[in-house]
Amino acid sequence: MPEIARQLSPENGLYPNPKNLYVRLLAETGLIGLFVFMAFLFSVLGEALTAWRSQMTFGRYLGIAGIFSWFAVALYNVTQDSFATPNIWINFGILAGMTAFAVGSEQTAFPTPTSNTEAATNQAEDL
């Protein structure tokens, strides 16, 4: 206990490390860096939600796994302040690659319907 009291003493010039990635990003890169990182996190969450709303079972599975992974990494960053841990990059890299594959597979399996004017034009050309 005396070592903690010594570190938190007003006479001590050292500041304890908060072990929070978001605070560290804010302190080291400012608001712009924090907003860019948050945009990255929310884009990954958007990919996971898109996969979750997929019509394919595999896409929904990836979406649920991605949402749980996103929450785990977001909460982990509150207690750890390093980009060197592979949790962020491996989980989000696998999620991004697999959802891109699943969404691409879904688009070929379930093509988007054409608009009414395009369908009418195609029918008129066929006659």
Every domain of the chain and the residues it spans? 17-108
Question: What's the predicted TM-score (pTM) here?
Answer: 0.69
- Tell me which amino acid residue 27 is: A
Q: If pLDDT is split at 50, 70 and 90, which confidence band does 1 have? A: low
Whether the CB-CB separation of 56 and 109 falls below 8 Å is answered with yes
- d(C-alpha 31, C-alpha 34), whole Å: 5
Non-local CB neighbours of 92 within 8 Å, separated by 6+ positions? 44, 69, 70, 73
Structural contact between residues 73 and 88, judged by C-beta atoms closer than 8 angstroms: yes
Q: How far apart are CA 32 and CA 9, in angstroms?
A: 33
If one compares 25 and 104, the residue with the highest pLDDT of the two is 25
Mean pLDDT of the 36-59 span: 88
